[in-house]
Structure formats: C-alpha cells, structure tokens
Structure 1
Amino acid sequence: MDHDAGRQHMPPWPEIARWRKAERERLIGERLAIPADRRAGFSVAIAQRLDALIGDVAGRTVSLYWPFRGEPDLRPWAASVTGRGGVAALPVVIAKAQPLVFRAYRPGDRLEKGVWNIPVPAEGDPVIPDVVVAPLVGVDDRRFRLGYGGGFFDRTLASLPTKPLVVGVGYASQHIATIYPQPHDIPMDEVVTV
C-alpha cells in the first residue's frame, strides 16, 4: 500500500483495514522491543511534557490509562495529578461497540480485571474528563491515532457532553505518514512523543 499522506486517492476500506492490522502488529512489536529501562526514561520525559502542556491540574479530571504492551507508564504521574488537587481517572470498557466510561482512580483503590486483563477501578460513579491522555499504537502527521482497532477511543470522544483536551502519548518511532482516517476517526488536539 502506498503510504503517501498527501495523495487524493483513498484505498477501499478492506485494504485499509488489512493495512491497519499489519501496521498495528509492526508498531506494537517495535514498541515492545524498546528496553524496559529506556521506556521508563521515556515515561518520565512524557510526564514532564504533559505537565508543561496541561499546566495546573487542580480541580480538573485527567483520564489516563493503565499501561499495556509497552505503552508509556504514567501511573506515577497519575498519582502526582491527585497529589496536586486533580482527579485521575481510568477508562472502563462497559460493553463492546459502546463508549468507554471513566472512573476516578487514586493509587491504592481496589481494581479488577477489565478487557485484556487491564486493571480498572472496581467501583465508582462515572466522571467526565477535562483532559484525555490516550496511548498511541501509531499517530500520523494530522494527529489521527491508530489504536487497537476496537473503536472505543473515537466512539467515546464523540459521546462526551463536552470536548476534553485530547493528548496522545507514545514514542517517536510510532509516527507514520497516515492512518488513512475514516469519517469516524477523530484527531487528537496534541501529541507528546519522545
């Protein structure tokens, strides 16, 4: 498949879907190949950049994620959000093909296994995030995110009553020319990579 982001022709969806699947596998493999100590350093650098980008978190709800398959580990930064008067939240899959809900999370809260055995808050009322920090599998030059293919991210953003600041986080190696965005794909406001 031609990866030229500027071209006018859009391949048919089945071809894009096959390409996205292969690209996901390639990018996740590259991410997992980064040594753990290097990923840890990247996570610290991403947290510092998030602080500079977002600013004061007091009184704001910031949705993060539990790290999975080599994603940047921002759990210490989540703890710092709550320590600075903000509310950290984690996304929870309620049902397939439905928007995510966000539940407040503080280190030490009881967690249970969610989809793909990713820990999620076991209880709590839904919260609406002011900021959504989303991990990247890939990201293109127009800030469209390649995720895991379940559609949860875009479906959730489209369903929120107010638009949050949406920040994608990942590694510089995850940049690609295009994801071949579809009408349902929603670009992120900002991207932080190292």
Structure 2
Amino acid sequence: MIDEDDDTSGSSACITHEVDPAHSGLSLADGVPKHSDVLRWRKAERARLIKERLEMSTSTRKSYSDLIAELLDVAIGDLSGRVVSGYWPFRGEPDLRGWLERLESRGGRCALPVVIETKAPLVFRIWGRGEKLERGVWDIPVPAAGKEVSPDVMIAPIVGYDRDAYRLGYGGGYFDRTLAATPKRPLIIGVGYSQAAMPTIYPELHDIPMDKIVTERGIFIRAAKSGESARNSHDTNGGSYL
C-alpha cells in the first residue's frame, strides 16, 4: 500500500531511533507541535528510515521477510474464508509475495490495493498466483482484473512505527482515508523491520493506530492504556512483543 509524499521539504534527521524533535526543526510549544512542523519532521524521518532499510543487505531483508511471514500466521490465526489484503514490495519493504501466494491453499484469499484516483480511498481486488498484473500508480503491479472486496485482514507496510502502534507511511494518506471509509474495521497489521521503531510519530487526528505490528523481532502490541488489559512488555519503546 503506497502513498506518495507531498509534504513540504525539510532537512534530514540525524542519529537513529531516538531522534530529538528539535534537531529536525520540530517546535514543541506548549507540548503540541504545529502541523507544518510535524509534516517537515515526518518527511525527514521518512527519508532516514527508508535509507536505512535500503542499506540492509539483500540476504538480511530476505531472512527478515521470512521471519515476518511466519509470524503473520500467528498474528492472524485461522485463515479459512478470510480475505487478506497485502501489498507488492517497494523501496526495500518486506517481501511477502510467497506468503500471499500460499493463502488460497490454506483457505484464505489474497487481495491487493489499487489506487483508482488520488486523494480517494483504495479499492482491493482479489489476486492469485499467475493471474495477470498491470502497472498501476508509481509503476507498482496491481491486479488487471479481479473482484473488488472488503478485506477481513489489512496488511499495511510501514516506514516507521511508534509505541502506540501508529504507522508512519509515505505521506499521501491513502491508508487512513481507506480505513475512515470502511464500514467494518478489519484486523489491521502493520509490517516492517524493527529498525523502524520510533518513540512517537506525533500522531494527528487523522492517524489511525494498527491493531498489531509484525517485525522480524515479533508481534508488537501497543502499550496498554487506562482501562485496557496490561501485557507482558520488554520492548524499549514501551510497547510489547508476544
């Protein structure tokens, strides 16, 4: 699921996961950053995190992708009769194509997201191994045909994620618009590498948290809030891994 970055330009962030917002030009007057500052800060973080994952070796990305695929089975559970929306890997994202191709043999069905128009929700089309694909927006393959469906499980690639399971995407807002327009909320799983962990993405009103985030380290659950059941936590960002 790909968004295009249309944020205003900003300087690159420095260091690793514990980036000081002030170093990226993020002003925290009264503890609340301005929207324009958040956009600039996110763009800098986005560039940093994508650069880091592209610098991983091909073999490392492959081994991490295999681990993530195994953990998705645990995170989702029984696949019988369920439609799972995936994505076609882009810019160093975990490659789950083999896992998606095996869904049908395990009782599930695979769907892929399609951009019909900019600034509009995504649609999802059923796709299976060997079925025709065509080049969509940003040259990412999408099903040439296929029934439009509403996924039971939505897998969203992440650029970054924080302790509350908010996802930093590519900046175009397609994911959030799609969820906001979905009558029945699916199980939402963010997928990425553990190097993408951040203290916060400074979520705004339109940002929607994931139910779970799966990395090569495990299944990440956001930190418990007041009234929620506590979970066994040993993650340095304040969330927990199962």
**Secondary structure at 2:125's aligned position in 1?**
strand
RMSD: 1.5
1:18 aligned to 2:40?
Answer: yes
Aligned with 1:79 (options 98, 101, 109): 101
| C-alpha distance in 2 between matches for 1:8 and 1:174 | 27
Counterpart of 1:70?
Answer: 92
Aligned with 1:97 (options 109, 114, 119): 119
**Secondary structure at 2:44's aligned position in 1?**
helix
1:190 aligned to 2:212?
Answer: yes
| C-alpha distance in 1 between matches for 2:93 and 2:32 | 30
Counterpart of 2:173?
Answer: 151
Aligned with 1:173 (options 190, 195, 210): 195
Instruction: Give the total of aligned pairs.
Output: 192
Cα distance change of structure 1 residues 63 and 8 upon mapping to structure 2, 3 Å threshold: farther
| C-alpha distance in 1 between matches for 2:199 and 2:32 | 14
Runs of 4+ in 1 over 6 A off after TM superposition: none
Aligned with 2:50 (options 28, 40, 64): 28
Q: Which TM-score applies when normalising by structure 1? A: 0.96
1:61 aligned to 2:71?
Answer: no
Aligned with 2:161 (options 135, 139, 144): 139
Structure 2 unaligned spans of 5+? 1-20, 24-28, 217-242
Counterpart of 2:110?
Answer: 88
| TM-fit CA distance, 1:85 | 1.4
| Structure with larger Rg | 2
**Secondary structure at 2:65's aligned position in 1?**
helix
Letter in structure 2 aligned against 1:82: E
Task: String of CA shifts for 1:16-69, please: whole Å, max 9, x gaps.
Answer: 100111110000000101111111111110011000111111100000000000
**Secondary structure at 2:31's aligned position in 1?**
coil
| C-alpha distance in 2 between matches for 1:27 and 1:94 | 28
Identity of aligned residues (%): 56
| C-alpha distance in 2 between matches for 1:8 and 1:72 | 38
Q: Which TM-score applies when normalising by structure 2? A: 0.77
Task: String of CA shifts for 1:99-158, please: whole Å, max 9, x gaps.
Answer: 000001101111111111100001122100000011110001100000000100011011
| C-alpha distance in 2 between matches for 1:84 and 1:116 | 31
Aligned with 2:142 (options 120, 126, 139): 120
Highest RCO, 1 vs 2 (Cα 8 Å, sep ≥ 6): 1
**Secondary structure at 2:102's aligned position in 1?**
helix
The answer to which structure has the higher helix fraction is 1
Moved more, 67-76 or 77-86: 77-86
Cα distance change of structure 1 residues 10 and 85 upon mapping to structure 2, 3 Å threshold: same
| C-alpha distance in 2 between matches for 1:24 and 1:82 | 34
Structure 1 unaligned spans of 5+? none
**Secondary structure at 1:43's aligned position in 2?**
helix
